[in-house]
């Protein structure tokens, strides 16, 4: 007992046993643990993972009768409803997997004592966040692949063949999902209790999806609503996804008449930095003096 205690104390003093490598190793273990938990929670699997997939299916089937979108005057050309909705559904998936999933998840964990329990263990905060980010990346990547496969094979959507569009797709996706995850962590502070988490976080996100060109064409919105939506990141993620997946001819329907990828990168970059600062300032394992 005492020899062991001494060894332990020595390891603690030298700091090697609790260094960054351990934080990374535990972070990896947390990713596996968190992802397992995610897929065991039936409601998250439906409302964040399958929701965009189901909606893509419904929209593609329901609006099929309206014919193609963006056809020429003689009725030729254009793209199918499924192809038209695909970028929006991917953007919604990014928002749900990042902001909604983590916002609700962490608020619930704060409410039910999970965070308090973890705070009493030698788990580094960094490892906890690696676990959350990893879970978001794994589940969101699976969701996006599922959406692309469904679009391609169930609805015959023609996906881009050139690498340029896929590069756009990749950076918009990565910047979008990391920003969404960070913002999810930041807004997890808002609900006063774990029970109210869904009710506080889901409705504003739903409104955001309606005004950001996910379910309704962004061009249909009055300009003042477009300007409001432009403050938030979802509009930019959706725009970036349209740039990656829609034909060039659709660029003219955007605000300003082009894809404005610089604007996409700038807006998401600002939100990412703001989100990181918010997390740094507001995240605590527990509300210390509540």
Partner 1 sequence: MSVRGLRKQYGTFTAVDGIGFEIARGETFALLGPNGAGKSTTVEILEGYRDRDAGEVSVLGVDPQHATLAWKARIGIVLQQTGESGTVTVREQLSHFASLYPHPRDIDEVIAAVGLEAKAKTRIKALSGGQRRRVDVALGVIGRPELLFLDEPTTGFDPEARHQFWELIRSLSREGTTIVLTTHYLDEAAQLSDRAAVIAGGRMLDIGPVDTIGSEQARVPLVRWRDDSGLHEERTHEPARLVAQLVAAQGEPVELEVIRPSLEDVYLELVGSAEAEEATAGAAGAAAEVTA
Q: Which residues bind partner 1 (CB under 8 A)?
A: 1, 4-5, 8, 11-13, 15, 17-18, 26, 29, 33, 36-37, 40-41, 108, 112-114, 116-117, 119-124, 286, 288-289
Minimum distance of partner 1 from residue 283's CB (angstroms):
16
Q: 9 vs 149, which CB is nearer to partner 1?
A: 9
Q: Are the beta carbons of 68 and 79 closer than 8 angstroms?
A: yes
Structural tokens at position 203: 């409705």
Minimum distance of partner 1 from residue 92's CB (angstroms):
25
Region of 106 on the Ramachandran plot (φ > 0 left; ψ -120 to 50 alpha; else beta) = alpha
Minimum distance of partner 1 from residue 126's CB (angstroms):
11
For 60, 104, 151, 276, the CA distances from 178, given in Å and listed in that order, are 28, 17, 24, 10
Minimum distance of partner 1 from residue 276's CB (angstroms):
23
Q: Percent helix, strand and coil across the chain, each rounded to 5?
A: 75, 0, 20
What is the rounded CA–CA span in Å between residue 284 and residue 183?
A: 15
Q: 12 vs 203, which CB is nearer to partner 1?
A: 12
Q: Residues near 289 by Cβ (< 8 Å), separated by ≥ 6?
A: none
Q: 41 vs 253, which CB is nearer to partner 1?
A: 41
Q: 116 vs 192, which CB is nearer to partner 1?
A: 116
């Amino acid at each position: 007992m005492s020899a062991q205690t001494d060894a332990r104390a020595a390891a603690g003093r030298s700091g090697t046993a609790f260094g960054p490598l351990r934080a990374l190793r535990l972070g990896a273990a947390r990713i596996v643990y968190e992802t397992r938990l995610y897929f065991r929670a039936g409601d998250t699997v439906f409302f964040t993972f399958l929701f965009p997939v189901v909606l893509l299916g419904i929209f593609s089937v329901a609006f099929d009768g309206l014919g193609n979108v963006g056809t020429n005057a003689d009725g030729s050309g254009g793209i199918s409803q499924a192809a038209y909705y695909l970028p929006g559904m991917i953007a919604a998936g990014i928002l749900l997997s990042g902001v909604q999933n983590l916002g609700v998840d962490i608020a619930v964990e704060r409410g039910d004592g999970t965070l308090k329990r973890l705070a009493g263990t030698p788990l580094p905060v960094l490892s906890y966040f690696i676990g959350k980010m990893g879970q978001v990346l794994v589940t969101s990547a699976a969701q996006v692949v599922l959406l692309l496969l469904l679009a391609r094979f169930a609805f015959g959507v023609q996906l881009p063949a050139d690498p340029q569009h896929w590069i756009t797709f990749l950076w918009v996706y990565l910047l979008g999902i990391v920003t969404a995850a960070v913002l999810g962590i930041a807004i997890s502070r808002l609900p006063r209790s774990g029970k109210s988490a869904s009710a506080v976080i889901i409705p504003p996100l739903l409104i955001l999806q309606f005004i950001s060109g996910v379910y309704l064409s962004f061009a249909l919105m009055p300009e003042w609503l477009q300007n409001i939506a432009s403050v938030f990141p979802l509009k930019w993620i959706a725009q970036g996804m349209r740039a990656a997946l829609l034909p060039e001819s659709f660029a003219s329907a955007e605000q300003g008449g082009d894809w404005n990828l610089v604007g996409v990168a700038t807006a998401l970059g600002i939100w990412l930095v703001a989100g990181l600062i918010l997390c740094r300032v507001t995240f605590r394992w527990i509300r210390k003096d509540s």
